[in-house]
Amino acid sequence: MPELPDIAVYIQALEKRILRRQLERIRVASPFLLRTASPPLASAEGRTVVALRRVGKRICIGMEGGLWLVLHLMIAGRLHWKKRDAKLSPPRGLAAFDFENGTLLWTEAGSKKRASLHVVAGEAGLTAVDPGGLETLDNDLEAFGAALTSANHTLKRALTDPRLFSGIGNAYSDEILFQARLSPLAFTQKMKPEEIKRLFEATRASLNEWIARLREEAGEEFPEKVTAFRPGMAVHGRYKEPCPRCGAKIQRIRYASNETNYCPNCQTGGNLLADRSLSRLLRADWPKTPEDLEMLTRERK
């Protein structure tokens, strides 16, 4: 799912192309996309774009008259800038927004249609779709600590909870926790003040670093390589690859369709975190260290 850095770069690219431009026509191919009935989607046609804003992981396009188009890309949704009146081809093509200078094309890979479009009126409408998470880049350590310790969750869960923190998801939470040298399974209400400070600084540094990287990568072009797995990442998506800091093999915890990647040396004191499915299967035989896991893997080959 595109997260805060990806959305920030999308918005920058959109500002160059559609800000102060008139939206001539909206074409929707997927009946599952539009999640609101009032105001009607057609009421946005003929209006000029006056603002662009990020709300969590949502891209909000502000039209004159206080109308907002709220695009939530979810996991597989992507945006593309094409020539005017570009063809909209289902099933990947969800919607097209036609401007005089080009077309913003919205696609979604896969069969699960999770992306959503809301049409809302005014600031009250935007507030209604905002999960309410803290904007870390706009707040201080005290506000960050208060949000972090408001409930006793694991760090991984807390960072990715949109009600606690805005725009951080599976990929960048891995990078943040690696930079902070903290275990993804550490509990928020058991953290020491210096650990909270370290996490706060790592969160701001990591997000700012990736915003800058992605902006440089896109340049003047529209960002097309939006992915959760990037070559420059330290741990996310790098299972069994060497840690860029210490050389140990990156490990992972798998759950549902997601996984958490971490370095056991840098983040967990050399301990292997229990993978839900495998640890239940192996029970007492679950290896405690990466070395034990390596030996177990060799024995089973």
Q: Write down which residue in 98, 129, 160 finishes a domain.
A: 129
Are 157 and 19 found together in one domain?
no
The pLDDT score that the predictor gives to residue 4 is 97
Residues 49 and 125 in one domain: yes
- Torsion angle, alpha carbons of 150, 152, 156, 159, to 10: 0
Q: Say whether both 169 and 26 belong to one domain.
A: no
For residues 61 and 85, membership in a common domain is answered with yes
Same domain flag for 297 and 250:
yes
The tally of domains found in the chain comes to: 2
pTM of the model as a whole: 0.90
Contacts 24+ apart (CB under 8 A), 271-278: 273/183, 273/184, 273/185
Six-digit token string for 284: 């007492």
**Could you tell me the residue range of the domain that residue 90 belongs to?**
4-129
Of 129, 146, 172, the one marking the end of a domain is 129
Same domain, 153 and 115: no
Count the Cβ atoms, other than its own, within 10 Å of residue 66.
Answer: 14
Question: Are 286 and 149 contained in the same domain?
Answer: yes
Structural domain ending residue among the three candidates 76, 99, 129: 129
The verdict on 105 and 253 lying in the same domain is no
Give yes or no: residues 193 and 299 share one domain: yes
Express each pLDDT in 131-183 by its tens digit.
999 999 999 999 999 999 999 999 999 999 999 999 999 999 999 999 999 99
Residues 65 and 194 reside in one and the same domain? no
Instruction: Find residue 260's DSSP bridge partners.
Output: 253
Tens of pLDDT, residues 243-282: 999 999 999 998 766 889 999 999 999 998 876 554 444 3
Compute the mean pLDDT over every residue in the chain, rounded to the nearest whole number.
Answer: 91
**Cα 28 to chain centroid, rounded:** 24
Angle between helix 193-218 and 4-18 (nearest 10): 40
**Are residues 124 and 169 both part of a single domain?**
no
175 and 104, same structural domain? no
Contact predicate 49/26, CB 8 Å: no
Distance, in Å, from the CA atom of 141 to the CA atom of 227, rounded to the nearest integer, reads 29
Q: Kindly indicate the confidence band of residue 286, based on its pLDDT and cuts at 50, 70 and 90.
A: very low
